[in-house]
Amino acid sequence: MKRVYNFSAGPSMLPLEVLEQAQKEFVCYGSSGMSVMEMSHRSKIFESILEKAQQDLRDLMHIPDHYKILFLQGGGSTQFAMIPLNLMNKNNCADYVVTGQWAKKAAEEASRYGKVNIVASSADTTFDRIPELDPAKFQKNADYFYITLNNTIYGTRWRELPDTGDVPLVGDMSSSILSEEIDITRFGLLFAGAQKNLGPAGVTVVIVREDLLGNAMEFTPTMLKYDIHAKNNSLYNTPPTYGIYFMGRVFEWVKAQGGVAAMQKRNEEKAALLYDFLDQSQLFRGTVVKKDRSLMNAPFVLPTEELNAKFIKEAEAQGFVNLKGHRTVGGMRASIYNAMPREGVEALVAFMKQFEADNR
Ligand SMILES: *Cc1c(COP(=O)(O)O)cnc(C)c1O
């Protein structure tokens, strides 16, 4: 069967080259005589897979030595609890900017462990923008300041990071990691679930500054302590071994594409194809204010529910799948992560043009 253009928000498309390489290595990895899935996580060969993946990510994101890279389980959502449990440890309070459902969930979870100050929210405009920040609302004694760099559901992204002074910035980069360059030194902690830009679901990357480790709340479960995983180099217990292997192959693929700067350039071009079309269309309309548009998730609507449904149905028949928007926004959303080739976006835009011509 022919592969479709998969615009899913996550789990999402993976690079075909990596899928094919994994297929070749599925039964026997290298000279091991076994699948990565069958290996002891304590073996030399698996350790080399893990360390290579860490080093490649360190190179790709220019991560300095005083940051630890952890490969954990539990998805992005487990970080919503791990962050307050480990970092809300001096003054038991933190600042959150609510830019969508993931940020809201993170703030709600954190409020179970301490005081959460909502600095700003764009809920009143259905999260169609990154809200303006008033630094007078920042808490000077906050243990950290939390943002969601790319808002997967609503299709917005932070273009400029807030200046939080000595307060560590914490970022959820689940849906934009390795899609654009980022200055990691601006952050105390950055995390991402794998299933959008990195690989199959099951592994979560946490990049954390060393000085923030070792101060978890007294009752924090051992498995939710960053310092335990850092001390054991993500081998405290059995990590998601196959996920780490696959993600490592994706890191190599990103390097082969020219690294993160090259990915960003390609992603900007892909997004521009779609947004330029939306801006001149008489029928389709983007739902996000222009300056905050995401490079990864582009939501858009047609004038009626009937047309939205018709578009989604006809698109699917043409091999453009998973274009239905999130239930809270409606309409459509095209997720165009690193693995979506330019041709996929070009073909989608051509289809949208034809749909417009047929439905005016
Ligand atoms: C998908 C997503 C999550 C949730 O990830 P899970 O692995 O399903 O827990 C969190 N934040 C953002 C920005 C996401 O896109």
Give the catalytic positions in this structure. Answer: 102, 172, 196
Q: How far is the CA of 301 from the centre of ligand 1 (A)?
A: 23
Residues carrying CATH 3.90.1150.10, the chain: 259-358
Burial of 74 per CB tally in 10 Å (0-12, 13-18, 19+): middle
Q: How far is the CA of 174 from the centre of ligand 1 (A)?
A: 6
> 16-256 in CATH: which number?
3.40.640.10
Q: Mind listing the pLDDT tens digit of every residue in the chain (360 residues)?
A: 889 999 999 999 999 999 999 999 999 999 999 999 999 999 999 999 999 999 999 999 999 999 999 999 999 999 999 999 999 999 999 999 999 999 999 999 999 999 999 999 999 999 999 999 999 999 999 999 999 999 999 999 999 999 999 999 999 999 999 999 999 999 999 999 999 999 999 999 999 999 999 999 999 999 999 999 999 999 999 999 999 999 999 999 999 999 999 999 999 999 999 999 999 999 999 999 999 999 999 999 999 999 999 999 999 999 999 999 998 889 999 999 999 999 999 999 999 999 999 998
Q: How far is the CA of 282 from the centre of ligand 1 (A)?
A: 34
Q: What is the pLDDT, as a whole number, of residue 327?
A: 87
Phi, psi of 175 (to 5 degrees): -105, 15
Q: What is the pLDDT of residues 325-354, one digit of tens each?
A: 998 889 999 999 999 999 999 999 999 999
Q: What is the pLDDT, as a whole number, of residue 350?
A: 98
Counting atoms of ligand 1 from 1, which one is nearest the CA of 153? 15
Is ligand 1 within 6 A of the CB of residue 175? yes
Nearest CA to ligand 1 atom 12: 174
pTM to 2 decimal places: 0.97
Q: What is the pLDDT, as a whole number, of residue 56?
A: 98
Residues carrying CATH 3.40.640.10, the chain: 16-256
Return the exposure string of 216-253: e unless at least 16 CB atoms fall within 10 Å of the residue's CB, then b: bbeebeeebbbbbbbeebbebeebbbbbbbbbbbbbbb
Q: Ligand 1 pocket: which of 78, 98, 175, 197 to mutate (most atoms <8 Å of CB)?
A: 175
Is ligand 1 within 6 A of the CB of residue 8? no
CATH fold of 259-358, please? Aspartate Aminotransferase, domain 1 (3.90.1150)
